[in-house]
Amino acid sequence: MAVLLYYPLVNPPTEVVHQALLYWDGIASVVPTEPEIREAVVGQPLKDLEQRQLYTPVTHAQDIVTRLGNPELSAPRPYQRASVVLADELYRLAASGEPPRPQWPPDAFLYTTKVSHWLERQLLQLGMARGWPSEPWGRLAVAREVQELVVGVLAREIARYDTERSLFPYTDRVAAQRQALQPSPNGRALAWEMELGKLLPTPATGTTLAEVLAFREKYTDERLRLMRALHRLLGDLRRDYEHPADVLAQLRVELEAALSDYRLAARASRFVWVHRSVTVTVGLAAAAAGSLLLPGLDWFLGVVGGYALNIATREIRPVVQRRHDHDFSYLHRVQTTLA
């Protein structure tokens, strides 16, 4: 199953939910461990989707964070390496000229059952979190930058270690994606970055969840054909990173046909469709680090369905454990409609 893992909050915007239902197998988000808190914070639309097995509340996040950097546990080495990334970033923020301190009233928070005791203590000691005495649900007041860093790094680790599904980190905050992917002093990796919004139209604001679900069921074949073609393109770009134009040339006919069929289905519906910005970051094969690719280098892939596809290289933080099938992260700019 290919599922979007939304972060940094529990409840995604409506546009992101629609995107997940149309082009993936569903959506997931990181939720607090306690059932009573989870029941209170998960919105009704997600609860309805959970009944249909289209929403997954991720509750094992605390297990990962508990192992990250906890010297009292005999954690596997990858967990220890991941903790270094998170700890280094928190210390870097704390030592900066203007460290992100929690405001009051807070503009962001973290559920304590998402971050575990060791990370909670570290945040408090660094002055980057504040207890919430009147808060019955166990939340820490933090700056938005801290929230985006912690949950962004956590989302990438969950995506690597989840063996039941193929999870794709997905956010609607530019800063959150930057925090999750930005290079760390301890290591860098190369990635492609490509805008896919023109190829993934979504219903305009006002379209109901029931209408999207009906379209999803009626046009299953068209949806899956388009998404499979796009994932094949991204997977081949990840592996054959030195010849991106050749990759597109080999898949152009498949992509054109899939996109044409999907457009016919979209026109047959009664929806108004829009194109919103969706940027995918594709982590490249490990060998790319020693190649001649230079960060910031732009490539013109070509035209698919009348839309030009461009990619550019960038440096990102290397993941602790690479997945063999994919290493993709998505940024959805909800308010940005493409002309």
Residues 131-151: tens digit of each pLDDT:
876 666 678 899 999 999 888
Query: How far is residue 2's CA from residue 5's CA, in Å, rounded to a whole number?
Result: 10
Digit-coded pLDDT (tens) for 50-85: 999 999 998 766 555 555 555 444 444 444 455 666
Per the prediction, the chain carries an average pLDDT of: 84
Q: Is residue 292 in a domain?
A: yes
Strands 307-316 and 298-304: antiparallel
- Nearest CA to 180 out of 330, 56, 323 is that of 330
Decide if 293 contacts 224 (C-beta within 8 A).
no
How would you class 287 by CB atoms within 10 Å of its CB: exposed for 0-12, middle for 13-18, buried for 19 or more?
Answer: exposed
Q: Comparing 27-31, 132-136, 142-146, 200-204, which segment has the lowest mean pLDDT?
A: 132-136
Q: What percent of the chain has pLDDT over 90?
A: 45
3-state secondary structure 124-160: HHCCCEECCCCCCCCEEEECHHHHHHHHHHHHHHHHH
Asked whether residue 226 is assigned to any structural domain, the reply reads yes
Mean pLDDT of 260-284: 92
The answer on pLDDT for 265 being more than 80 is yes
Looking at residue 63, its pLDDT comes to 57
Of 77-91, 135-149, 182-196, 324-338, minimum mean pLDDT range: 77-91
* pLDDT over threshold 90, residue 107: no
Tokens at residue 218, please? 């009626």
Give which of 61, 60, 51, 62 is closest to 26, Cα–Cα: 51
Query: 211: burial class by Cβ within 10 Å (0-12, 13-18, 19+)?
Result: middle
Rounded-to-integer distance, Cα 255 and Cα 226, Å: 7
257 in a domain, yes or no?
Answer: yes
Distance CA 327, CA 241 (A): 13
Q: What CA–CA distance (Å, rounded) separates 149 from 137?
A: 21
- Report the DSSP pairing between strands 166-171 and 298-304: unpaired
Higher pLDDT, 231 or 137: 231
Residues 188-210 have a mean pLDDT of: 90
**Would you place residue 258 in the very low, low, confident or very high pLDDT band (cuts 50, 70, 90)?**
very high
Note whether residue 231 is domain-resident.
yes
E-strand ranges in 172-317 read: 189-195, 202-203, 273-274, 276-283, 298-304, 307-316
Residue 261 lies in a domain: yes
Given this model, what pLDDT does residue 158 score?
Answer: 81
* Mean pLDDT within 99-128: 84
Backbone angles phi, psi at 66, to 5 degrees: -60, -40
- Encoded amino acid at 48, one letter: D
pLDDT at residue 217 is higher than 80:
yes
H or E element that contains 329? strand 328-337
Two tokens, residue 231: 């994932």
Q: Cite the DSSP H helix spans in 68-104.
A: 77-95
In the three-class reduction of DSSP (H, G, I as helix; E, B as strand; rest coil), residue 93 is classed as: helix
Q: Give the residue numbers spanning the domain of 220.
A: 188-316
pLDDT of residue 82: 52
Q: Which residues, in sequence order, are bridge partners of residue 170?
A: 6, 330
pTM for the structure as a whole:
0.88
Cα maximum dimension of the chain: 60
The answer to whether residue 267 is domain-embedded is yes
The answer to whether the CB of 111 falls within 8 A of the CB of 86 is no
- 327 vs 159: CA distance, rounded Å: 9
* Percentage of the residues of the chain whose pLDDT score is greater than 70: 83
Count other Cβ atoms within 10 Å, centred on residue 86: 22
Could you tell me if residue 301 is inside a domain?
yes
Does 177 fall in a domain? Answer: no
In this structure, what token pair is assigned to residue 1?
A: 């199953």
Spatial neighbors of 210 by CB under 8 A, at least 6 apart, are none
Lowest mean per-residue pLDDT among 63-72, 78-87, 123-132, 154-163: 63-72
Among 77-86, 96-105, 106-115, 188-197, whose mean pLDDT is lowest? Answer: 77-86
Q: How many independent structural domains does the chain possess?
A: 1
How far apart are the C-alpha atoms of 249 and 301, rounded to whole Å? Answer: 8
The residue ranking higher by pLDDT, 34 or 204, is: 204
